[in-house]
Every structure is written in structure tokens, then in C-alpha cells.
């Protein structure tokens, strides 16, 4: 039997994790749990046989770097890696997402298709999810993505994604789609702002997207807001005014709690003549950089919890969100079929009655049927056949109406396809109308979900045992 493509991808992932996780087998075992969840989703019609929840997760510890043009993102990355891997400048120097990973060889830049075809990376099959790319073919991925390799020990065991700035209109819709994708998968998101441009009005759109849209997320603690190139304010009569202006701008965007970091690159910094001011700026800069780098170093830990958390959330979503929603859709379909049936039968009966009455054949037909049982049987068979045709036609019509409504109810393409596929599976011609429970959902499936949730709790406990020591023993 030929091995499916998804099976090959999962085995490749398992081999990778087996090598990486010798001291921590939790992630390797998590792939098995994703396989079990896939089987449930196959039976329910949520996933196609060539899909897997495991391929929707980034299995790498991932740091996303976002911000405006000229905010110093590339300079920060070069400094952290101690390698000149990213071009720098005051203007936009790169309009692509750069996925940077470790290599033992020299630095290289690879095309975007290297990411689209590798399930280990966060942009696996992204070409199928972005209309602007897929409409022009896979070769267009290279206009949006690139893979860079770097022999920096700081990068070992993690990947960094440098995003293009948010001030350009070119490819803006695609940039936002890709940004939303990496934000959802990242373990840490560094949001950079340029301290030289603190005007809230000019930054309104950017603040809305990078701050307002993130503060209410359940994982909002993974966002670090960084005011970069703060050294330029040392020349101001009152440098704290610049910080205060940014605090007001962020507060207007909704960030009223927490802190943001103030840093600058020592090599690129403007000279600070006053020794007291210089000492104060360097002390603040070193403390904030230490905190940022500490968070960057622990993304491997956060990666483990993120993947197990995704497994748990997906399992809960099937039982608590998908099944109730599918029940609602099937109930709506059932009611619509009955309404269509009754309406059409009523119309046909009225039209037929009027026609027979106007032609004066009704009494003759009744007399003929009562005298000849064969004619009665034929009429009954024709009635049953006609009723069946009308009923199944109404089922199909009601089904299409619900499918169209699903298309309008879900903006996310992946979610929309899941519900459409599952609804189609649950409305075959042979399924009795009175059975509205989703196919594949029963006590056995509930137990499987419950067992998976118990397993995720065990994974969390193992991770806690590895990374914490509450007892102090």
C-alpha cells in the first residue's frame, strides 16, 4: 500500500523530534496524540485524509520581530546574532518575511518555496491560504518569503522571523495575512517602535494593528513592546518627554498596563557627551536588553507548552464549539427541508385539485380508483416516487443554502472549509432526516476526547517536572 503524503510528513516530523528531544520526549509523544485527534477529525469530516492538525503547528521555538520601517528591527537581529545577516538602513530595505534558522555552514538565502514545502516551518503550504499568492502560482511566494541560514550559536534551537515594516501600501493585505499567521504561531513577539517618530497621529494605523489588536489576546503576555533607538533622545532638553509621548500613544491604543522596553544599539548609537546621561541611558538599556534576551532564551520552554496547549485547545474546540455548531447547522437544515417539503406538497396538491376540479375528472378518477385496485397501486407508486423525488430535491436545495450560509459565516478559509466538509459528510441522501446528531460523534468519541485531554494534562505535568521544582528537592 502506497504511503500517503501526510504520513510521510508526520514521519519526517517524528524523526526530527526524536533527534531533538532525546532528553525531552514530550513533543515526540505529542505527535502521536495529534494523530489520534486527526482520526477523530477524519470520522467527523473536519479534516481531509491528507490533512493533519500536526502540520498546522510550528514545531520550532519561534520569535517574531514586528514593527515599522526604520524601527531598527534588522539592526537588533544582527546584534543579537552577531552576524550581518539582515540589511539595515533608515528606509525600507526588505519587503519580505525573512525566516532565519541555524546552520553550521556559511550564511545562505533560500527561496520562499523552501518554507512552503517543509511542514517543520511556520509557513508550510501558506500558498494555499493566501489568495494574492495562490492566484499567481507558487513562484510568487518568493515575493513574500525567504529562508536565511546563519551560523550563530544564539540561533541554535530556534528560528527568528523578521517581518517587513507596516508603513508600505505595497502588498499590504498579504503582509497582514502573513503577519496574523506568524503571530498566532510565535512563542515570543517583539514589537519595535522608532523612538524618533513618537507622533500618535502618524502611527495610528500601526498602533491599532500592533497594540490594540493584541492586548485582548489570551496569549498577550508573549508580546514585548520595544521603543528602539532611544539614544537619539539623549540630545533633547528633557528626554523623558519622548518616553512620555510614547506612553500616551500606547495608552490611547489601549496598552494601559505593563511595561515597554527602551533600548538602542551600542555600535550604532549617537554619541552621548554628558557622562551622567550616558551612564543612565546605558544602565536602562542593559537592564531592558537583559530582560529581552532572557525571554528569547526561554522560547524553547514556551514552545513545549504552546504545542501541548494547542493540542488541548483543538480537542476542546471539537467538543465544545464544533459539535454544538454542527448540531445547529443540521437542525437548521432539517427544519428547512421540512418547510420546503410541506410548502411544495401544499402547492402541488392545490394545483392538482384545481386542475381536476376544473376539468370535471375528479369524480371519475375517484370512481375508477375504487373499482380497479391496479390503478390504485399505480397511482400510489407514482405518488411515492414523486414525493421521494420532491423530498430529495428539497434536501439538496436546503443543503446548498446552508453551504452558502456557512461560506458567509466564517471569514477564515480553513475554518470555513472544515464546516463545509463536515456538513457535506453529515447530509448524505441515505441519512434519515430525524437523525441530526453529527456522524462519528458518540460515546466512544467523547471518551477519546476525554482521554486526549487527560494525556495533555500528563504532558503539562512532565514539562513542569522538567522546568520547575516547587518542592525544592
User: What CATH number is given to the structural domain containing 167?
Assistant: 3.40.50.300
Residue 132 has pLDDT above 50, yes or no: no
Question: What are 408-449's pLDDT values in tens digits?
Answer: 888 777 889 999 999 999 999 888 888 878 999 999 999 999
Return the SS3 of 122. coil
* Domain membership of residue 6 as a residue range: 1-57+300-473
DSSP code, position 165:
P
Question: What are 276-323's pLDDT values in tens digits?
Answer: 888 888 898 999 999 999 999 999 888 899 999 999 999 999 999 999
Lowest mean pLDDT among 76-85, 136-145, 197-206: 197-206
Which residues are CB-neighbours of 253 under 8 A, at least 6 positions away?
207, 208, 211, 212
pLDDT at site 447: 96
pLDDT at site 205: 59
Are residues 396 and 268 part of one domain? no
Are residues 313 and 172 part of one domain? no
- What's the rounded mean pLDDT across residues 18-47? 88
Are residues 427 and 361 part of one domain? yes
Residue 136 has pLDDT above 50, yes or no: no
Residue 134 has pLDDT above 50, yes or no: no
Are residues 19 and 78 part of one domain? no
pLDDT at site 332: 93
Are residues 337 and 414 part of one domain? yes
Are residues 229 and 193 part of one domain? yes
Among residues of the chain, what percentage have pLDDT more than 70?
A: 78
- What's the rounded mean pLDDT across residues 262-279? 83
User: Which position has the higher pLDDT, 257 or 110?
Assistant: 110
pLDDT band at residue 203 using 50, 70 and 90 as cut-offs: low
Residue 91 has pLDDT above 60, yes or no: no
pLDDT at site 168: 47
Nearest of 136, 99, 91 to residue 116 by alpha carbon: 99
Helices vs strands, H then E, count in the chain = 15, 8
pLDDT at site 318: 96
C-alpha span between 254 and 408 (Å, rounded): 30
Are residues 381 and 266 part of one domain? no
Q: What are phi and psi of 185, to 5 degrees?
A: -100, -20
pLDDT at site 377: 65
Lowest mean pLDDT among 365-369, 376-380, 453-457: 365-369
Are residues 178 and 131 part of one domain? yes
Are residues 109 and 45 part of one domain? no
| Average pLDDT value for the chain | 81
3-state secondary structure string across the chain: CCCCHHHHHHHHHHHHHHHHCCCCCHHHHHHHHHHHHHHHHHHHCCCCCCCCHHHHCCCCCEEEEEECCCCCHHHHHHHHHCCCCCCCCCCCCCCCEEEEEECCCCCEEEECHHHHCCCCCCCCCHHHCCHHHHCCCHHHHHHCEEEEEECCHHHCCCEEEECCCCCCCCCHHHHHHHHHHHHHHCCEEEEEEECCCCCCCCCHHHHHHHHHCCCCCCCHHHEEEEEECHHHHHHCCCCHHHHHHHHHHHHHCCCCCCCCEECCCCCCCCCCCCHHHHHHHHHHHHHHHHHHHHHHHCHHHHHHHHHHHHHHHHHHHHHHHHHHHHHHHHHHHHHHHHHHHHHHHHHHHHHHHHHHHHHCCHHHHHHHHHHCHHHHHHHHHHHHHHHHHHHHHHHHHHHHHHHHHHHHHCCCHHHHHHHHHHHHHCCCCCCCCCCCCCCCCCHHHHHHHHHHHHHHHHHHHHHHHHHCCCCCC
Which residues are CB-neighbours of 386 under 8 A, at least 6 positions away?
none
Of 276, 297, 318, the domain-final residue: 297
pLDDT band at residue 69 using 50, 70 and 90 as cut-offs: confident
Of 297, 330, 345, the domain-final residue: 297
Of 297, 320, 345, the domain-final residue: 297
Are residues 385 and 258 part of one domain? no
- What's the rounded mean pLDDT across residues 328-335? 93
Domain count along the chain: 2
C-alpha span between 54 and 7 (Å, rounded): 11
User: Which position has the higher pLDDT, 225 or 378?
Assistant: 225
C-alpha span between 349 and 333 (Å, rounded): 24
Among residues of the chain, what percentage have pLDDT more than 90?
A: 30
Are residues 144 and 200 part of one domain? yes
Are residues 431 and 385 part of one domain? yes
Nearest of 133, 81, 85, 140 to residue 109 by alpha carbon: 85
Predicted structure pTM score: 0.80
Lowest mean pLDDT among 58-72, 242-256, 363-377, 447-461: 363-377
- What's the rounded mean pLDDT across residues 348-361? 67
C-alpha span between 283 and 340 (Å, rounded): 75
C-alpha span between 217 and 393 (Å, rounded): 45
pLDDT at site 407: 86
pLDDT at site 182: 81
pLDDT at site 214: 66
pLDDT at site 94: 64
Amino acid at each position: 500500500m502506497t504511503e500517503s503524503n501526510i504520513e510521510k510528513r508526520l514521519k519526517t516530523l517524528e524523526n526530527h523530534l526524536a533527534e531533538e528531544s532525546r532528553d525531552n520526549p514530550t513533543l515526540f509523544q505529542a505527535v502521536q496524540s495529534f494523530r489520534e485527534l486527526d482520526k477523530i477529525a477524519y470520522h467527523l469530516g473536519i479534516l481531509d485524509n491528507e490533512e493533519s492538525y500536526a502540520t498546522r503547528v510550528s514545531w520550532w521555538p519561534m520569535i517574531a520581530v514586528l514593527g515599522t520601517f526604520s524601527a531598527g528591527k534588522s539592526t537588533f537581529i544582527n546584534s543579537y546574532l552577531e552576524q550581518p545577516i539582515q540589511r539595515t538602513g533608515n528606509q525600507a530595505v526588505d519587503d519580505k518575511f525573512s525566516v532565519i534558522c541555524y546552520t553550521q555552514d556559511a550564511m545562505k538565502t533560500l527561496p520562499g518555496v523552501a518554507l512552503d514545502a517543509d511542514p517543520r516551518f511556520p509557513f508550510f503550504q501558506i500558498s494555499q491560504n493566501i489568495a494574492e499568492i495562490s492566484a499567481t502560482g507558487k513562484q510568487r511566494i518568493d515575493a513574500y518569503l525567504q529562508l536565511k541560514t546563519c551560523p550563530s550559536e544564539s540561533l541554535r534551537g530556534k528560528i527568528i522571523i523578521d517581518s517587513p515594516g507596516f508603513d508600505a501600501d505595497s502588498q499590504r493585505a498579504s503582509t497582514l495575512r502573513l503577519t496574523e499567521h506568524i503571530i498566532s504561531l510565535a512563542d515570543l513577539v517583539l514589537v519595535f517602535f522608532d523612538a524618533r517618530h513618537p507622533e500618535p497621529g502618524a502611527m495610528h494605523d500601526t498602533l491599532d494593528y500592533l497594540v490594540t489588536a493584541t492586548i485582548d489576546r489570551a496569549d498577550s503576555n508573549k508580546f514585548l513592546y520595544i521603543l528602539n533607538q532611544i539614544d537619539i533622545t539623549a540630545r533633547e532638553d528633557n528626554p523623558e518627554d519622548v518616553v512620555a509621548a510614547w506612553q500616551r500613544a500606547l495608552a490611547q491604543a489601549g496598552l494601559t498596563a505593563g511595561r515597554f522596553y527602551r533600548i538602542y544599539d551600542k555600535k550604532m548609537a549617537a554619541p552621548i557627551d554628558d557622562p551622567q546621561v550616558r551612564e543612565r541611558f546605558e544602565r536602562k538599556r542593559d537592564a531592558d536588553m537583559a530582560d529581552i534576551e532572557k525571554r528569547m532564551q526561554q522560547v524553547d520552554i514556551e514552545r513545549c507548552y504552546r504545542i501541548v496547549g494547542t493540542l488541548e485547545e483543538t480537542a476542546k474546540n471539537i467538543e465544545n464549539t464544533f459539535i454544538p455548531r454542527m448540531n445547529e447547522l443540521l437542525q437548521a437544515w432539517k427544519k428547512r427541508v421540512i418547510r420546503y417539503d410541506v410548502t411544495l406538497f401544499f402547492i402541488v396538491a392545490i394545483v392538482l385539485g384545481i386542475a381536476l376540479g376544473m376539468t370535471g375528472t375528479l369524480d371519475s378518477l375517484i370512481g375508477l380508483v375504487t373499482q380497479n385496485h391496479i390503478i390504485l397501486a399505480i397511482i400510489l407508486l407514482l405518488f411515492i416516487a414523486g414525493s421521494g423525488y420532491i423530498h430529495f430535491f428539497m434536501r439538496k436545495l436546503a443543503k446548498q443554502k446552508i453551504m452558502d450560509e456557512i461560506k458567509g459565516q466564517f471569514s477564515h478559509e480553513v475554518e470555513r472549509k472544515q464546516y463545509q466538509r463536515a456538513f457535506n459528510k453529515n447530509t448524505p441522501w441515505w441519512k434519515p432526516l430525524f437523525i441530526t446528531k453529527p456522524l462519528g460523534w458518540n460515546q466512544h468519541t467523547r471518551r477519546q476526547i476525554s482521554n486526549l485531554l487527560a494525556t495533555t494534562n500528563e504532558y503539562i505535568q512532565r514539562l513542569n517536572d522538567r522546568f520547575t521544582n516547587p518542592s525544592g528537592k
